[in-house]
A and B are shown apart, each in its own frame.
Chain A
Amino acid sequence: MPANVKKKKPSVWKNYFGMLFKAGLPWVLMVVCFLISFGRAELTLQLADRIGTTFGAKYANLNDAVGPLLILFFIGVAIVVAKVVGAHLQGILTAQLERNIQRYAVQRVFYLKVADVEKDDPREIVTRLTDDTTKSANFVIDLSCNEIPRLYYIIMAIIKVAQMNLPILTVTLIAIIPVVFLGSWLSGRITFKNRNKIQAKIALLTAKLAEKIDNVELIKASNTQNQEIESGNAVIQELDKVKKQGAVVDQINAFIKNMMWFLPVLLIIIPPAVYLFNKTIDQTQFYAYILLATSFRTYTAEHLTLWIYLKDAQGATCRLAAILSESNERNAANLPVPKAGDIVFDKVTFAYDQEPVLQDVSFTIHKGEKTALVGLSGSGKSTILNLIEKFYVPSKGTISLNGHDVASYDYGAYRSLFTYLPQNAPGFSGTLRDMLNYCAKEPYPDTKLIEVLEKVGLYADLKDLGGLDYEVGYNAERLSGGQRQKIGVARLILSQSQYVLLDEATSALDATSSKTVQSLVDESCQGRTEITVAHNLRTVRNADQILVFQQGKLVGEGKHEALLKSCPVYRSLVREEQ
């Protein structure tokens, strides 16, 4: 994989702009924002010229000054309006681009392969979707709308000053650029370093307090409130120290920042003031220079914003592009429609890393029968379910359904044949109704849902809480593990899919619930193909076929009675349970 990433690096920006075009750029608004930004730069140049001429001119009748003053006022107001409207529109523009990138990225991410998602920390992918997209958008918008006007202003200002024919003024104007860059870089570095240090400390102390609050139950139960108030106060006192350090550091930074602002002021004021004093320049030129140089400083400093956006965007873009360039599970071509039949494993070998989890395994799962996979944990049972679901691809051998290699089927159509019930059935925020309809293409009528809920023995519990409209909360945490599992069974009953995959579906339940759930599952699996990874061997005695695994190898297959006689591994598993 690392070699792969390296190969992709040079084309990051190509990928990036490719992504922008695919996501969709809001062209019209971009042009409008560019024009506003450009207009502002032009008006700022105008203002510098006109203030000098208006104040420097000698008016025979003072009423003649009213016109120029009014123009100055309107230019000033127009600059402010352009600033305000520009900020507003660019905010909207950034939001639009961000939305487009997010939409584009999210539909790629959910079609990524399981293996690709698992190799990353999911939290990182989340950051890419929520945070990196913003950084990308900020950079593109600032670059496309503001950069050309900024450069225009800077160049025009230099030209105008050069026309004054005083080389020293031109030199000082240009000297502002390195001073501003150096200053911002310096203060940025100090701020960054100290902020990080202080932030880390504050986070640590906050975590200490958080721990205490999380355990408030224990504190109260052990009657140690007073000790805790004391030790909490110690933490707060330490926080006080760190915050005070922070306040001092902030002020030092502000001082450095102000000095870096002050140095250019020296450059801006001293040379023209001396020239004005010597009468080398007149008041008109003096004003023009001061105003040009002041805005020149601002426009130069803004380049650093762009630089920061660029730095942010570079990292973000690398990460985004890496995700978006992964192959995904969306199949373009018209693939054969899968039909139910026997599932055949032919000499299948599979490894997550180096160590093979399955070695040269061959067997057949017959349509309409109940097949159980048994073995100690780590023997490769669950991997078989993962391979059947096409989460992973075998490293050797083939898996076929109804005579065709499963690789030839479209992911979505193929997976729709199966209903999967894992050990701890997950649930997502939403209503109970959403949870029941989760695997369904079309939602079921409420009456049907209630009927099934009653069947699995949940309706009485949840009726008073709002029934189907009950909000189950983040990760369905407002339901107990047993309730979530029963909802999984309810979905299984509703789905009528040809195949049912159970991965230790009852192991997290207490004895009574486990029994109920298993009998419900068996009942609903009449006429369907049931493939179950069993934890509790009693639940699979009635299986048509039991496959026994040990360390990635198939060591026995047959019915319960036959295996008891023929397979020592199975025998010891059964004995262990009794």
Chain B
Amino acid sequence: MSKISKYFVPTKQTSEVPELGVKKHLFRTLYKGVKIPWLSLSFGAIFAVFNSLVILSQYKNYLAIFQGTLTDLTPLWMYLGASFLQYIIIFAGVLADLGFVTIVTGVRKKMWKKMVNLPLRDFDTAEPNGMLSRITSDAEYASKPFYAIIALLQIIVYIISVSAVAPKEIPQALIILAITLVLAGVTIFFSVKICSRATTLVQNSISLQTDHYTEQLGSFKFIKASAAENKAIAKSYELIDNRYNASVYNAFATGLQTLANSFTDLIIYCCAFLGGIWAIGLGEISDMTPINAIYVFGMALELTLVAIMTLPSYFAAAFGGSKELVSVFRRTEEDILAGKELPEGQGGLTLKGVSFSYAQKAVVDNVSLRLPEGQVTAIIGSNGSGKSTLLKLIDRLYPASQGEITLNGGKERTFP
């Protein structure tokens, strides 16, 4: 872990808003003004819940098939028919998916509007594709809390119906079920966190490699001319090792994920075998039938259990992903219409002691000049002398850090 943290590049905190009160306004900041398609979400939720009910209704038939206590073959066909129905219902869950897309689209539009109105400086300081990914990928997270709600509903219904239908002979199995479900939840939650971190690590390390190779191969002749092949190789080795470390961490994440996925099996083993031993020890059962029943019951519910196991991952995604979104929504916009007066006609521009700096370096330093109306003024100077920045300042793409620019006698900042 410590080896990895060296290479882990944390995403820059773009927000300067204090984290206080984030939880309170999180949902309002995210969804205010976004249309939530409650109808299709509700139907999606109903189908999701219904799906586990269908298979539970077949529990008695399933048990009869397995214990060889059938009097005729109808339960077999009933069970198989119900399984088919279950798949159809899963398919109907597409309603919820469509609802999720609508939410994401709403948040995308809101984000786009917000972004266009952000000051230009915010774009300069962001990483090249950072702003774009707020719209294209981060917006996807906005639907996750709703996923989580539906999955939560599913688990509640599951627990209620299992305790209603489950073989009553071994109450111990229910206790074990509760414990293992909690364990599974915790494991999955962490495995999701660690997996997403591992993915970031691996992707970062690959993009470092890609950048390096692109840069080097783009100037291949220069490397050859400098006889610096070994330098390029040494740097490549460093990045290969970096990727190796990320991959090893990823292997750890994969292991954890496999463990999380195996909980569907583990829960059955624990409930049937351990629960059975426990019940035998207490002398509560007289033959193997109840243990057998729990095992079969577990197998029948495996598909539902798999669906429920996704719950923690939605929670992890919902809380992790929305942060970036919220941080953008909380930035200050350029006040497009908040100005006091509109500039009247045209007039001469005057710059008085104007300064501007990128980072610490002053690019425009204490410049004063007058640009008379209707005349062509040329700005000349060598590369990097601040000509272009001056234009950006006049166009108010950047705010001057010192001094003032006046148009037609009025101070520029008072205009919208």
- A residues with a Cβ closer than 8 A to B are 51, 54-55, 57, 59, 62-63, 65-66, 69-70, 72-73, 76-77, 79-80, 83-85, 87-92, 94-96, 98-99, 102-103, 106-107, 109-111, 114, 117-118, 122-123, 125-126, 129-130, 206, 209-210, 213, 216-217, 219-221, 225, 228-229, 232-233, 236-237, 239-240, 243-244, 247-248, 250-252, 254-255, 258-259, 262, 265-266, 269-270, 273-274, 276-277, 279, 282-283, 286-287, 329, 386, 389, 391, 411-412, 415-416, 418-420, 422, 425-426, 428-429, 438-439, 464-465, 474-475, 480-482, 501, 510, 512-513
| Cβ contact of B132, chosen from A80, A206, A225, cutoff 8 A | A206
In the complex, what distance in Å separates the CA atom of A482 from the CA atom of B383? 8
- CB neighbours of A240 from chain B (8 A): 101-102, 104-105
Q: Which of B155-163, B258-266, B318-326, B365-373 contacts A (4 or more CB under 8 A)?
A: B258-266
**Across the interface, do A273 and B65 meet the contact criterion of CB distance under 8 Å?**
yes
Nearest 10 A/B pairs, CB to CB: A91-B251, A88-B255, A95-B247, A420-B225, A76-B269, A426-B219, A73-B273, A122-B217, A240-B105, A247-B97
Partner of B213, one of A96, A114, A129, A258: A129
A84 to B116, CA, bound (A): 48
In the assembled complex, B276 has its CB within 8 A of some CB on chain A: yes
Contact A70 B220 (CB under 8 A): no
How long is the Cα–Cα vector from A495 to B416 in the complex, in angstroms? 57
* Contact B226–A428 (Cβ < 8 Å): no
Shortest CB–CB separation between residue B12 and chain A, in angstroms? 16
Contacts A91-B251, A232-B116, A510-B383 given; indicate if A213 touches B131 (C-beta within 8 A): yes
Contact of A255 among B91, B104, B252 (CB under 8 A): B91
Given A213-B115, A236-B105, A439-B226, A269–B65 Cβ distance below 8 Å?
A: yes
Query: Taking the complex as formed, is B179 at the interface, i.e. its CB lies under 8 A from any CB of chain A?
Result: no
With most chain B CB atoms within 10 A of its CB, the pick from A88, A129, A276 is A88
The A-contacting residues of B in range 207-238, CB under 8 angstroms, are 209-229, 231-233, 236-237
Extra A-B contacts (12), CB below 8 Å, given A106-B237, A216-B120: A92-B251, A99-B247, A110-B233, A118-B220, A210-B132, A236-B109, A240-B101, A248-B97, A251-B93, A262-B83, A277-B76, A420-B225
Q: What's the least CB distance linking A470 to chain B, in Å? A: 11
Quick check: A480 and B94 within 8 Å, CB to CB?
A: no
Asked, given contacts A220-B120, A277-B68, whether A103 binds B240 with beta carbons under 8 Å apart, the answer is yes
Q: How far is the CB of B9 from chain A (nearest CB, A)?
A: 14
Contacts of B219 on A, CB cut-off 8 Å? 426, 428
Given contacts A225-B336, A474-B215, contact A273 B76 (CB under 8 A): yes
Which chain B residue lies CB-closest to A261? B87
Shortest distance from the beta carbon of B137 to any chain A beta carbon, whole Å: 9
The verdict on B295 contacting chain A, using a C-beta distance below 8 Å, is yes
B212 to chain A, nearest CB (A): 8
Q: Say yes or no: is B39 at the interface (Cβ < 8 Å to chain A).
A: no
- 20 CB contacts below 8 A, A to B, read A66-B280, A69-B273, A69-B276, A73-B273, A76-B269, A80-B266, A110-B232, A126-B213, A216-B115, A217-B120, A229-B112, A239-B108, A240-B102, A247-B94, A269-B76, A416-B227, A420-B222, A429-B215, A438-B228, A475-B215
Query: Which residue of chain A is the closest to B258 with respect to CB atoms?
Result: A87
Report if B25 contacts A (CB, 8 A). Answer: no
Q: CA separation between A424 and B227, bound complex, in Å?
A: 18
The answer for the CA separation of A242 and B83 in the assembled complex, in Å, is: 31
* Option from A80, A114, A219, A422 in Cβ contact (under 8 Å) with B259: A80
Residue B186 lies at the interface, judged by CB distance under 8 Å to chain A:
no
Interface residue B310 (Cβ < 8 Å from any Cβ of A): no
Contacts of A282 in B (CB 8 A): 68
Q: Is B144 an interface residue (CB 8 A)?
A: no
A228 and B116 in contact, given A129-B213, A221-B395, A286-B66 (Cβ under 8 angstroms):
yes
Q: A389 — nearest CB in chain B belongs to which residue?
A: B225
How far, in whole Å, are A106 and B244 apart by their CA atoms in the complex?
Answer: 15
Q: Does the CB pair A221–B397 fall under 8 Å? A: yes
Contact B87 A259 (CB under 8 A): yes
Which residues from chain B contact A206 at a C-beta distance below 8 Å?
A: 132, 136
* Docked-complex contact B94 and A251, CB < 8 angstroms: yes
Which of B132, B210, B274 makes the CB contact (< 8 A) with A209?
A: B132
Chain A residues whose C-beta falls within 8 Å of the C-beta of B225 in the assembled complex? 389, 391, 415, 418, 420, 501
Contact in complex: A126, B244 (CB < 8 Å) = no
Cross-chain contact B228 with A439 (CB below 8 angstroms): yes
In the complex the two chains form, what is the Cα distance from A106 to B212 in whole Å? Answer: 12
Tally of contact residues, B, Cβ under 8 A: 107
Mark out the residues of chain B between 252 and 302 whose CB falls within 8 Å of any chain A CB in the assembled complex: 252, 254-259, 262, 265-266, 269-270, 273-274, 276-277, 280-281, 285-288, 291-292, 295
- For the complex formed, measure the closest distance between the CB of B216 and the CB atoms of chain A, giving whole angstroms: 7
Nearest-Cβ distance from residue B309 to partner chain A, whole angstroms:
14
Tell me, in angstroms, the Cα distance from A223 to B364 when the chains sit together: 24
Give the residues in chain B near A411, CB-CB below 8 Å.
224, 227
Contact B104 A243 (CB under 8 A): yes
Chain B residues positioned under 8 Å from A482 (CB to CB):
383-384
- A99 close to B213 (CB less than 8 A): no
| B24 contacts the other chain (CB 8 A) | no
Which A residue sits closest to B251, measured CB to CB? A91
* List of B residues within 8 angstroms of A102 by Cβ: 236, 240, 243
- Check if A428 sits within 8 Å of B215, measured CB to CB: yes
Give per-residue flags for B85-112: 1 if the beta carbon is below 8 A from chain A beta carbons, else 0.
0011011011001101110110011001
The reply to whether A283 and B213 form a contact with Cβ atoms under 8 Å apart is: no
Report the separation of the CA atoms of residues A73 and B221 in the bound assembly, to the nearest whole angstrom. Answer: 64
Chain A hits for B113, CB < 8 A = 229, 232-233
Residues of B within 8 A of A114 (CB): 220-221, 224
Contact between B224 and A415 (Cβ–Cβ < 8 Å)?
Answer: yes
Of the candidates B97, B236, B274, B280, which one forms a contact with A73 in the assembled complex, judged by CB atoms under 8 Å apart?
B274
Once the chains are docked, how many angstroms separate the CA of A252 from the CA of B92?
10
Point out the residues of chain B lying under 8 angstroms from A428, CB to CB.
215-216, 219
Whether B90 contacts A254 by the Cβ 8 Å rule is: yes
Query: With a CB–CB cut-off of 8 A, which chain B residues contact A255?
Result: 87-88, 90-91
**Residue in chain B with minimal CB distance to A513:** B382
Question: Which chain B residues border A420 with CB–CB below 8 Å?
Answer: 222, 225-226
Looking at B100, B221, B224, B292, the one whose CB has the most chain A CB atoms below 10 A away is B224
Contact B360 A422 (CB under 8 A): no
Instruction: Find the residue from B88, B212, B285 having the highest chain A CB count within 10 A.
Output: B212
User: What CA separation (Å) do A236 and B233 show in the bound complex?
Assistant: 44
- Give Cα A282–Cα B66 distance, bound, in whole angstroms: 10
Closest residue of chain B to A236 (Cβ to Cβ) is B108
Hey, which chain A residues are within 8 Å of B154, CB to CB? none
Taking CB atoms, residues of chain B closer than 8 Å to A96 are 244
**Cβ-neighbour of B240 out of A99, A416, A480 (below 8 A):** A99
Chain A, Cβ-Cβ closest to B359:
A465
Q: Is the CB of B255 within 8 A of A122?
A: no
CB distance from A354 to the nearest CB of B (A): 22
Q: With the chains together, A422 CA to B218 CA distance in Å?
A: 14
A247 and B229 CA atoms in complex are apart in Å by 49
Interface-central residue, A130, A219, A422, A475, by most chain B CB under 10 Å: A130
Residues of A within 8 A of B276 (CB): 65, 69
Give Cα A418–Cα B224 distance, bound, in whole angstroms: 11
Chain A residue contacts of B288, Cβ below 8 A: 54-55, 57, 59, 62, 65
With A84-B262, A415-B227 in contact, do A55 and B295 touch (Cβ < 8 Å)? yes
Shortest Cβ distance from B220 into A: residue: A117
Complex interface: chain B residues within 8 A of A248 (CB): 94, 97-98
Measured between alpha carbons, how far is A530 from B211 in the docked complex, in Å? 34
- Of chain B, the residue at the smallest CB distance from A107 is B233
Would B213 and A125 count as touching, CB distance under 8 A?
Answer: yes
Compute how far the CA of A322 lies from the CA of B379 in the bound complex, rounded to whole angstroms. 55
Across the interface, do B248 and A87 meet the contact criterion of CB distance under 8 Å?
A: no
Q: Who on chain A is nearest to B273 by CB?
A: A73
How far does the alpha carbon of A64 sit from the alpha carbon of B32 in the complex, in Å? 64
Question: A219 and B226: CB pair below 8 A?
Answer: no
Give Cα A122–Cα B213 distance, bound, in whole angstroms: 9
CA distance A389 to B228 in the complex (A): 14
CB-CB nearest in chain A for B396 = A220
**Minimum Cβ distance to chain B for residue A211 (Å):** 10
